[in-house]
Every structure is written in C-alpha cells, then in structure tokens.
Amino acid sequence: MMLRMRDWVTVLPLLLLTACSMPSSIAQAPPAATPPAATPPAAVAPEPPTPFDLGRADIAGWIDEIAARHSVPAEDLRDLLATGRRQPAILAAISRPAENVMTWWEYREKLVSEQRIAEGTAFWKTHRQSLDAISARTGVDSAYLVAIIGVESSYGRRAGTWRVLDALMTLGFDYPRRSKFFLAELEQFLLLVREERLDPATALGSYAGAMGSPQFMPSSYRRLAVDGSGDGRRDLFTDWDDVFSSVANYFVASGWQRGAQVITEATAPEEVFAALDRRNLDLKDTAESLRARGVRFDPAVAVDTPLILIPAEQRDGPGVRVGFANFRVITRYNRSILYAMAVHDLADALRARTAAAAP
C-alpha cells in the first residue's frame, strides 16, 4: 500500500487492507474508510521516536527465538534491532478509530480521480513494452497492473516514508492487538533483508510495513515477488519489471483467469440490496441463484457461473454490481470490495483513455 501518510492518515482501513495478506480479522474490517481530508490536529504532539529496550523480556525472548529458528547469532539480530526506533506516530495513527465508512460513490471519486487516470495513462505509455510482455506471459491485463500500482502508491510516487524496520518493530512490540501478525512480518522482513540484500536502514514503506510501489508486506514479498528483469534480485523498490511481474504473479497465484470478466453491471430489488453481507468476499452465488432473487444482468452469463453480488451505492441510492472469479482475485490483493471495484474501474478508465489516444 500506498499513499503518503499525511494524505491518508485517516484512511486506516484502506492502508491496512492493502497490505496484501492481512489476516482476516483486519481483512474483514468494514470496507475503507474515512474521508482523507481534514485530519483534526492532534491535541498532544506524539512523543519523539526512541530506541527499543532490547532487554525487555518479551523482546529478548523473541530475539532468542528468531535467532534459534534461523540459525543466526542473537548478537547480530540485536545489533540490527538496536537501529530500530519506536515511532509513537505510527501507534497513534493505527489506533485512530475509523469514522464514517465511505459509500462506493464517495470512495470511487477519491480513488478513480481524473488525476489518477491521467497519470496512469502516461505511466502506461512509458512502460508499455514491459507491461505488454508481462501481460502476454501471465494473462493479467496491463490495465490492471497499472491500476493496482496507481491505487497503491500513485504509480510509485507515494510508496511510503517510514522505515519498514521501525514500523514493524513498533507494531510488533508495542501494538498488542496485532502483535502476532506484525512480529511474523518482522521476522519475514529480516529474512527478506538477508535474501534480497536490502538495506534495513533505508528500506521504506507504509506505516504498516508495506513496501515498494505495489506495497507488498514482507511475507508477500518473499512468497510472491518475482525477478522480472532477470538480474537475480527481486526489487520492488526500483525495478519496474520486477514490480509488474510480481503484481501479475500475485494475481496468478490467487487464481486470475486470462481474458475472463471481472465485473458486470446489474440491478436488484431493494430488499436484496438491503440484505447484502458487505463483508462477504466470496463467490457465494451463481448466475442462477442471483436471477432467482430478481437480480438482472447480462443474460449471456452461464447459469452455473460462480458470482458475488456486490453492494455499490450510487449518489442517488442503492446500486449493485456482479463480480466474477477475477473480482475475487483482486480482493485477495486487498480484502475490500471497494478497493477491488476501484481497481477495476480505474483499469477500465485507463483502457478507454489509452484507446482514445491511440493513433
């Protein structure tokens, strides 16, 4: 994920959700978010960053455990972790309650903005050769690769300004509610640093520790990033071939179907809309079961096609859309139906703009 903290500090659910493989308790939090504008000034300035007390029993125990598990000297681990800083501003941000949950049309206006479409069209043009090659190889349309990077980091411009080491240590050691998750990611980060020869002093990311323009958490980075440029390293910070290949690989690993639909527009009776489970991310319906409830959409969709009925409020009232298996794939990248719809709509807008500009 994503987005400079100062712009998005109130959009916490979005930031967290974008962390690729967040656990389901976070993943199924109400879809993002609060309006990104107007963060009230903090009443009290956050405390300054400080080193961690590595002698603290839980921290010392964790270091010994990790050292033993990966056969590294505990002293080396302590030397590295001694450079980490506890960032109270991260704790303040992650603890801030989400306020108004955005409706789909509000969310869409924020994420599928004219600026993001214009920048994405230019970005696509710049990287066309690489995107086309990776798309042909993997079956993931270039428009979706560009859209993911556009939503995650504004095409790499906003990939995060926190040191990943600080973020993961702060949340792992001092945010009990998600400690287990973030300590697991810290462990993954330490392994990643070693494997990919990253510099932990300078590796930057979101305040939840997501890295590079596609905003991979360390576990996703280790599991799913690929070396698209063939130089023997997986570099999601500066190597666009690696970035595009890795996002495509994430999609493929989540079940992306080449050339298949993502979303189709639909209408539904009011009571069907009202009864929708907004947290559902699974293909619980089929074309047949939806039609039986009065949902109307493309009659060409075969009766046994697995589908999800998606709430999509419009400015003027209720709205629904129907998602296919590829829609579900996008929610694996970030477990939010609003996010997945925004990626799809941005991809559509980028395709339309790019086609219109073609000679």
Helix or strand (DSSP H, E) at 264: strand 263-267
Least separation in angstroms between CB 162 and Ca ion: 24
Angle between helices 179-196 and 57-69 (to 10 degrees): 40
Which residues, 242 to 261, sit near Ca ion by CB under 5 A?
242
Nearer to Ca ion, 227 or 348 (CB): 227
Residues 317-346 touching Ca ion, rule: CB under 5 A, are: none
Catalytic entry in 47, 114, 152, 187: 152
- Token pair, residue 95, equals 């603890």
Least distance to Ca ion, CB of residue 145, Å: 16
Binding to Ca ion, residues 122-181 (CB under 5 A): none
Judged by beta carbon, residue 239 or residue 285, the one nearer Ca ion is 239
The closest of 269, 313, 273, 306 to 289, measured between CA atoms, is 306
Calpha distance 272→193 (Å, rounded) = 49
User: Is there a contact between 77 and 63 (Cβ–Cβ < 8 Å)?
Assistant: yes
**Residue placing its CB nearer to Ca ion in the complex, 119 or 227:** 227
Is 96 or 233 the residue whose CB approaches Ca ion more closely? 233
Cβ 141 to Ca ion shortest distance, Å? 22
Q: Which of 283, 262, 276, 258 is nearest to 139 (CA)?
A: 258
196 binds Ca ion (CB under 5 A): no
Under 8 Å CB-to-CB from 309, ≥6 apart: which residues? 266, 268, 272, 276, 285, 290, 295, 320, 322, 323
Give the chain's radius of gyration (CA, Å): 21
Q: Which residue is nearest to Ca ion (CB)?
A: 229
Sequence-ordered list of residues with C-beta below 8 angstroms from that of 171, at least 6 positions apart, any chain: 90, 91, 94, 178, 179, 182, 208, 209
C-alpha span between 266 and 320 (Å, rounded): 6
Q: Toward Ca ion, which CB reaches closer, 166 or 235?
A: 235
Amino acid at 193: V
Euclidean distance between CA atoms 218 and 196, whole angstroms:
11
Q: What's the min distance (Å) between Cβ of 224 and Ca ion?
A: 14
Residue 109 annotated to the active site = no
Alpha-carbon distance of 132 to 93, in angstroms, equals 39
Q: By rule CB under 5 A, what count of residues binds Ca ion?
A: 6
Smallest distance, Ca ion to C-beta of residue 241, A: 6
Give the nearer residue to Ca ion in terms of CB position, either 230 or 317: 230
Nearer to Ca ion, 231 or 277 (CB): 231
Residue 235 Cβ vs Ca ion, minimum distance, rounded to whole Å: 5
The interface with Ca ion within residues 216-245 (CB under 5 A) comprises 227, 229, 231, 233, 239, 242
SS3 109: helix
Shortest approach of Ca ion to residue 200 CB, angstroms? 19
By C-alpha distance, which of 8, 19, 16 is closest to 188? Answer: 19
Catalytic residues: 152
Interface residues with Ca ion (CB under 5 A)?
Answer: 227, 229, 231, 233, 239, 242
